[in-house]
Structure 1
Amino acid sequence: MLNTSNNNKRKMIVIHGGHFSSLEGFYEEASNVLMKDTDWKVGTLDGFDDILYGGFGVVENHEEIEILWKESEKSKEDLGFTLTKEFYENKIKQGKPFNIELIQQKLSELIEGKGQTLFEILVEIIESHKNITLILD
């Protein structure tokens, strides 16, 4: 007889905040844990969002996943106001293909204390995937 009950075994993925202190470092860590055995690397916020949909790397499509972000307080600090401000300023300096008006608005919101930090953006991206449970440790 086939056992069709779901024993609710979620795949556990661990992101170690101690392994990085920059956005590039986060992408490297995410690539190492989410894209094992592939030659594709995470390099943008959109790219990070894309791999969470699954179908390549270690995440299957719509599979129940638990992401444990260890040392998340360190990451919250590392990917906080200062780095986020630099992130936006660099995009403004680069100009095209970035939407400079939008980025300037996001930078202004950040400076006014209303905008999201990179850490908050990454958390929001993860939490937007209903099949993923995020645990900040």
Structure 2
Amino acid sequence: MKTFYIEGKNVVSIPSFYIEINRLLMQNETWQLGESLDALNDVLYSGFSAIANHKKILFIWNNSQISRVNLGLQTTRTYLETKLNNTMYNKKLIQKQLDELVQGTGSTYF
């Protein structure tokens, strides 16, 4: 099993989350992962990057409480509101996610 250690002190925003993920997973690649949970999902299930040839991987998130706050409600709300202003996204879906977040039933970026 391949183990990766995310350092929560380094994750203070959405961009810094991807800097940390790129540090862990993309160091031997010629490209970097962009700020997209869909792209992260693709990397995790693709079989390339630092997880290549590993059937099982484990992420240990040190100081995760710092990241939980920094990627929490306000950051997620701002992220979703920004996406609503971009015509390329499914606005109905984004609005649903935002409504659920505000009601306390939705997921944060963390």
Q: Deviations over 1:25-64 (max 9, x none)?
A: 1011101101111122121111111111142211025621
Q: Work out which of the residue numbers 43, 68, 86 in structure 1 matches 2:60.
A: 68
Partner Cα separation in structure 2 for residue 80 and residue 61 of structure 1: 33
Q: Distance in 2 between matches of 1:77 and 1:52?
A: 24
- Matching residue of 2:93: 102
Q: SS at the partner of 1:53? A: helix
Tell me, yes or no, if structure 1 residue 23 matches structure 2 residue 14.
yes
Q: What TM-score do the two structures reach when normalised by structure 1?
A: 0.75
Q: Normalising by the residue count of structure 2, what TM-score does the alignment of the two structures yield?
A: 0.92
For 1:50, which of 42, 51, 61 is the aligned residue?
A: 42
5+ residue gaps, structure 1, are 1-9, 120-137
Q: Distance in 1 between matches of 2:55 and 2:46?
A: 8
Fraction of identical pairs, as percent:
37
Higher helix proportion: 2
Number of aligned positions between the proteins: 109
Structure having the higher Rg: 1
RMSD of aligned C-alpha atoms? 1.2
